[in-house]
Structure 1
Amino acid sequence: MRKSILTRLNNWIIFLLMTLVVVTIVVASTILINFLRKEEIKRVDILVSALKFQQEVTPSLEVQELILKIYSSNNTIPMIVLDRDDRPMVHKNIPKEIENDPVQITLLAKKMAKSYPPIEIKIPDGNNQFVYYDNSRLLNDLRYSPFLLGFFILCYFLFSFWFLRTIKKTDEGYLWAGLAKETAHQIGTPLSSMIGWMEIMKLDNPDSEGVYEMEKDIERLRTISERFSKIGSVPELNDMNFNETIVENYNYLKTRISKKINFSLHLPTYTILVPHNKILMSWVIENLVKNAVDAMKGEGILDMSVFERNKNILIEVKDSGSGMTKQQARNAFKPGYSTKKRGWGLGLSLARRVIHEYHKGDIKISQTEVGKGSTFRITIKKA
C-alpha cells in the first residue's frame, strides 16, 4: 500500500513538473512577443513623428534625408496613410495584389484599425491624415509559437512517458515469464521422480484408492507445470469447444473448494466455438475462482456464467466476497500487487497476459463493492 501511494505521489510530481515547464515556456514566449510588439509600436511612433515634423515645418535637406531614411528603414510593419476622406495617400509593406487598388487599400486600413487605433497627423490646411498600421508578418506568426512550442514539448513528454512505461512493462513481462519457466523446470524434476514411485506403488497394489487419488494429483501437477512452461512462448490456439473447457474446469474446481460455497455454472444450450488454448484458459479461470474463494473466506455464493454478446463470448465469475476498493481494483492486475499476506501478486498478472497477448481478448473487474463482492469478466472473440 505504501509503495502504491509513493508511486502515485511520484507520478503527480512528474505531472506537475511537466506542466510547470510547459507553462513557463508559454509565459516566457508571450513576454518576448509582447516586448517585440512594443518595439514595433515605438518604431511606428518615431515614423509618425517624422511625418508630422515634415508636415508642420519646412525641413532642411539634411532633415529630409533623415526622414526618408526613417521611412525607408521600415521593411516589415504594414502602414497605410489615408486623408480625412479615406483616400490612400501613402502605403508600405502591404500585399502586392492590392497596391494599385485604392478601395482594397482603404478596406485593409479599416481592418488594421481593429488592432491598433489610427494615429492622426494634423495638417495646417485642415486636411488631416491618419496613419494605420498593424503587426509585421513575423510578429503575427510568432503569436502562435508559444502554444505550438508548448504543445510539442507536452507531446515529447507524453511520448517519453509512454516509451519508458512500455519498456518497464516489457521488462516485467520478461521477468514474470522467466520466473514461470523456472518454476516449471523446478517442478519437473520431482514430478518425474513421483511418477516413477507411483508406478512402483501400482505394482504392489494396483486397485488402491489412495494410489488412484495420488495419480490424479500427479496429473494435475503435470498440467500446472505445462501451464508455466507455456508462459513466454506463443501457444497454439487449437482448441475450439469452449463449453468443454469450461465444464472440465467447473467439475474439477467444484470438488476441491469448500462445500460451504454454493458454486454454480450457467452455459448456453448450444456449443460455443472459440479458438483457445485449453491449458492456459483453464489456468485463467482457476485463478479467478480461487481468488473469489479467498475473498469469501470459504463461504458464500460463487457464480460462473458464459454468454454471447455481439461477436464476443463473455465469461463472468461473480462472488459474494469482501469486494475491493477503487484503488485495489485499479492495481489488481499489476505484477507483484496482492492484498493477501501470502500472495505473490502473480496470478492475475499472468491471467491478463494470457487473455491480452495470447487470446487477443480483455479481462477486467466489471463490478466490485466493498462488503458485497466482485465480478471479473473475460471477453474474447468467438470463431
Structure 2
Amino acid sequence: MTLVVVAIVIASTLVINYLKREEVRRVDILVSALKFQQEATSPSLEVQGLLLRIYSSNTTIPVIILDRNDQIIEHKNISKEYENSNDEIVALAKRMAKKYPPIELEFSNGNNQFLYYDNSKILNNLQYSPFLLGFFVLCYFLFSFWFLRTVKKTDEGYLWAGLAKETAHQIGTPLSSMMGWMEIMKLENPDSDGVHEIEKDIERLRTISERFSKIGSVPELNDTNFNETIKENYDYLKTRISRKIDFTLLLPTYNILVPHNRILMSWVIENLVKNAVDAMKGEGTLQMSVFERNKNILVEVKDNGSGMTKYQAQNAFKPGYSTKKRGWGLGLSLAKRVVQEYHNGDIKISQTEVGKGTTFRILIRKA
C-alpha cells in the first residue's frame, strides 16, 4: 500500500515538473518575441501578427515587466487585487523574483527591462495534488482494510457462535441421560459422597452447556451479587485443582452489586484460573481478589507461574493463539468477548514477567 501511494506521488510530481518546464519555455519564447519587437525597425505585417499572437497566447502565466527604476512597463494575468496599486504590483514582482530569477531584456539603446513571472494559478494548485491524491488513496486502502477485517471478524463470530451452539446441543443429549441415572442412584443410596460429587459435576456440565448455548445471543444480566458469583466459582474450582496450589480468595467485606450474567462470568473466571494452573504446572501460589476502584469493579487473578513474553502477552486474546500444545486458543478470546461485548467492561494482562508469573485483570463498570 505504501509503495502504491509513493508511486502515485512520484508520478504526479514528475508530471507537474514537466508542466513547469513547459511554462518556463513559453516565457522564454515570450521574451524572445518582446526583444525582437523592440529591436526590429520595420517588421512586416506577418511578423507583427506573429508577435501579437505570441503575446496574446499567454492567458495563464503572470508576467510583470519593470525598467531599471522599477517603473511598470507592462503586466498581465495578475490578480485583480493588485491592478489598482503600482506599489503592490512592484512588491508582487519582487516576490516572484524569489521563485524565479527575473529575465533581463537587453536593448541596444541601453533601456534594459526586467521580466518577472510565476507559475500559473492552475499549476500552483496542482502542486498540492500529489499529496492530496496520495492521502485519499491511503484513506481508501485503510477503509478497505478496516471493512475486510470487520467482515472477517463477523464471519468468525458467526462461525464460533454456530460451533458453540452445536456443542451445547451435542452435550445436551448425554447430559439428560446422566441426570436420569443420577436420580436412580440417589434413590438407591441418597447419602453417598460419591453421588453428591457426581451430582455437582453434572450440574457443572449443565452450566457449561448453557454457556455454549448463550454464545452469539444477547445474554440477560439478571444477577447482581457479584461476590456470590465469584465465591461459587472459587469453591468449585478449589476442590478440583491440584492441592499443591495455594489458591486464595480476597473479597470485600460488603456485597458488590453489579448486573452480570453468572453463567458467562463464571466461564471467564474458570478460563483465567485454568490458564494460571497450567502456567504453574500444577504447583504454586494463585490469588484471586475482588475490589472497587473509581466506581469500577476489578477482579484480579494472579499466579507465580511461567509468565509471558511481550509477544505472548500481545497475542494472548487473539482467536486461535495458544502457547500450549493442546487446545484451540479460544478460551481467552471468548472471555474477552464476554467481558467487553456483554458486560461493557475490559480484560487485560496487567502484569507479567517471564519466570515470575502473570496477573489478569477484569474491569466492569458499575454505571
TM-score relative to the length of structure 2: 0.97
Asked if structure 2 preserves the Cα contact closer than 8 Å seen for 1:84 and 1:128, the reply is yes
Alignment partner of 2:293 out of 309, 318, 340: 309
Letter in 2 for 1:345: G
Asked if structure 2 preserves the Cα contact closer than 8 Å seen for 1:172 and 1:335, the reply is no
Structure 2 residue matching 1:302: 3-state secondary structure:
strand
Alignment partner of 2:157 out of 173, 182, 188: 173
Cα distance in 1, alignment partners of residues 247 and 188 from structure 2: 38
Q: 2:40 aligned with 1:57, yes or no?
A: yes
CA distances 1:322-358 after superposition (whole Å, capped 9, x unpaired): 1122222222112222222221212111111111111
Shift of 1:321: 0.8
Letter in 2 for 1:123: F
Q: CA RMSD in A?
A: 1.3
Shift of 1:218: 1.0
Alignment partner of 1:146 out of 130, 133, 138: 130
Shift of 1:267: 2.4
2:217 equivalent in structure 1? 233
Letter in 2 for 1:209: D
Alignment partner of 2:8 out of 25, 28, 31: 25
CA distances 1:246-288 after superposition (whole Å, capped 9, x unpaired): 1111122112111111112222333222221111001101100
Cα distance in 1, alignment partners of residues 35 and 304 from structure 2: 89
Q: 2:310 aligned with 1:321, yes or no?
A: no
Q: 2:331 aligned with 1:347, yes or no?
A: yes
Cα distance in 1, alignment partners of residues 247 and 130 from structure 2: 62
Cα distance in 2, alignment partners of residues 25 and 375 from structure 1: 48
Shift of 1:134: 0.3
Q: 2:114 aligned with 1:122, yes or no?
A: no
CA distances 1:71-98 after superposition (whole Å, capped 9, x unpaired): 0000110111111111211111111232
Shift of 1:242: 1.3
Alignment partner of 1:275 out of 259, 263, 273: 259
- After superposition, the Cα gap between the structure-2 partners of 1:315 and 1:103, relative to the gap in structure 1 and judged at 3 Å, is same
Task: Give percent identity, aligned residues only.
Answer: 81
1:46 equivalent in structure 2? 29
Cα distance in 2, alignment partners of residues 75 and 264 from structure 1: 86
Structure 1 residue matching 2:98: 3-state secondary structure:
coil
Structure 1: which 5+ runs fail to align? Answer: 1-17
Asked if structure 2 preserves the Cα contact closer than 8 Å seen for 1:367 and 1:376, the reply is yes
2:345 equivalent in structure 1? 361
Cα distance in 2, alignment partners of residues 119 and 256 from structure 1: 93
CA distances 1:4-35 after superposition (whole Å, capped 9, x unpaired): xxxxxxxxxxxxxx111111111111111000
1:103 equivalent in structure 2? 87
Cα distance in 1, alignment partners of residues 218 and 127 from structure 2: 53
Cα distance in 1, alignment partners of residues 69 and 253 from structure 2: 90
1:4 equivalent in structure 2? none
Cα distance in 2, alignment partners of residues 370 and 202 from structure 1: 49
Structure 2 residue matching 1:375: 3-state secondary structure:
strand
1:135 equivalent in structure 2? 119
Equivalenced residues, count: 366
* Range with greater deviation from structure 2 (258-267 or 220-229): 258-267
Letter in 2 for 1:96: K
Cα distance in 2, alignment partners of residues 351 and 34 from structure 1: 57
Letter in 2 for 1:29: S
* Range with greater deviation from structure 2 (245-254 or 143-152): 245-254
Structure 2 residue matching 1:275: 3-state secondary structure:
strand
1:83 equivalent in structure 2? 67
1:337 equivalent in structure 2? 321
Structure 2: which 5+ runs fail to align? Answer: none
2:198 equivalent in structure 1? 214
CA distances 1:160-196 after superposition (whole Å, capped 9, x unpaired): 1111111111111111111111111111101111111
Asked if structure 2 preserves the Cα contact closer than 8 Å seen for 1:334 and 1:349, the reply is yes
